[in-house]
Amino acid sequence: MLKAIDPLLNADVLYALRAMGHGDEIVVCDVNFPAESTARMTTLGRLLRIDGASGPRAIEAVLSLLPIDSFVPDPILRMEVVDAPFEVPAVQAEVQRVIDASQGQPLAMTGLERFAFYERAKNAFAVVQTGERRFYGCFILKKGVIPPD
């Protein structure tokens, strides 16, 4: 345990968050996502895990350290529901509340079609698989910057 660091963030996840640069993306996905095969194609090249945590709780932990990119129009993506792209499942609504709380203001997620999401995920810096069992608990977060004091 470390002071002021969420205990869900294990050493591997902390390493990835620190190693990422401005504009790099991290995938936070549910248990049904093809995480292992996708992670092999990422910059990091191996799967990271936050087992036992829901998607919203894992994203809350990640966002406690990760700044979100404010220079791009769509810094947070969610996987769209197949044949219902505008539907927002409960897990995504919960993550939206986590995002808004972490940013101190609303920051809408952008939907991305399932197969387009898979392709985008392959170019991410890393993939973190959570213990989320609800469908469509898959998100891509783009790292921003921390300005000087």
Q: Which of 6, 24, 30, 69 is catalytic?
A: 69
Catalytic residue flag (residue 69): yes
Phi, psi of 103 (to 5 degrees): -90, -15
Q: Which of 22, 51, 74, 100 is catalytic?
A: 22
User: Tokens 């205990």 map to which residue?
Assistant: 7
Phi, psi of 68 (to 5 degrees): -90, 140
What does R_g of the chain's alpha carbons equal in angstroms? Answer: 14
Pairing verdict, β 47-50 and 25-29: unpaired
Phi, psi of 98 (to 5 degrees): -65, -45
Catalytic residue flag (residue 6): no
Pairing verdict, β 25-29 and 139-142: antiparallel
Classify 78 as helix, strand or coil. Answer: strand
Q: What angle do CA 129, 81, 92 make, to 5 degrees?
A: 55
Catalogue the active-site residues: 22, 69, 118
